Copies of this chain bind each other. A is one copy, B any other.
Amino acid sequence: MKEFTEPQSTKTSPRSSLSRAAHAHQQLMEAIRSGQLKPGQRVRETDLAEQLQISRTPVREALHRLQSEGLIVNAPQRGLIIAELDYQQIMELYQMREVLESTAAGLAAKHASEPEIYALREMISKQQDCLDDAEAQAHHNRLFHNALYHASHNRYLLKTLNSLKDAMVLLGATTYKVPGRSETALEEHRAIVDAIEKGDRTAAEDITREHIRAAQKARIELINQG
């Protein structure tokens, strides 16, 4: 079996200060994101150890971590496989995001510092600059949401939302491929930050809830098209 292609000088290649286990985890996440590893596909310690040129021990740790994150599941009669989310589970995922992201925005409206709000605005402006590139949009979108999680100043919320974000990798194509979604999402981000800046908790919650619902609708559209 062929080894994972590891693009050299890209921003995706952070480097060797990482433990081998952490590195393996990153590589696997990236392989899932890029589609080199597809949902349902089997994953074996031995294979990965060989492909990544390390021993089985750190691979094992990475696999355990991915299991606890729900990206890999132990399928009876099949062994470890990349998790396949069915429609129901995807809806549960968005339902959860709706609750948690709106909570994060609401808390940010109460607790975000001026520099944190500034950072959110910066990200929106970066996103504005690449409205035509769906992948870049998705990247900046992730950064925005991450900054929002931090601004909530609740560590459990932060951790859980990060975990949900990772699970989103399993869904494949970004919803920014849906025509018009980029522009709408950008507007929604602006409205969220406006509400946070005003300290309007309820508005921040409501707008964010609608933002996630819109993303969910775009996702359903993508699913129904195949």
Contacts and interface: CB of A to CB of B under 8 A. Distances in A.
Report the 9 A-B pairs with minimum CB-CB distance, sorted nearest first.
A96-B156, A92-B154, A99-B103, A160-B160, A68-B68, A92-B156, A92-B155, A96-B157, A95-B154
Interface of A: 61, 64-65, 68, 70, 89, 92-93, 95-96, 99-100, 103, 107, 153-157, 159-160, 163-164, 167
A56 to B, nearest CB: 11
A158 to B, nearest CB: 9
A96 B61 CA distance: 29
Chain copies in complex: 2
The dominant DSSP class at the A interface is helix
A68 B70 CA distance: 13
Given A99-B100, A103-B99, A156 B93 contact: yes
A106 B159 CA distance: 23
Contacts of A64: 61, 64-65
Contact of A164 (B93, B103, B156): B156
Nearest to A104: B99
25 contacts: A61-B64, A64-B64, A64-B65, A65-B68, A68-B68, A70-B159, A89-B155, A92-B153, A92-B154, A92-B155, A92-B156, A92-B157, A93-B156, A95-B107, A95-B154, A95-B156, A96-B154, A96-B156, A96-B157, A99-B99, A99-B100, A99-B103, A156-B164, A160-B160, A160-B163
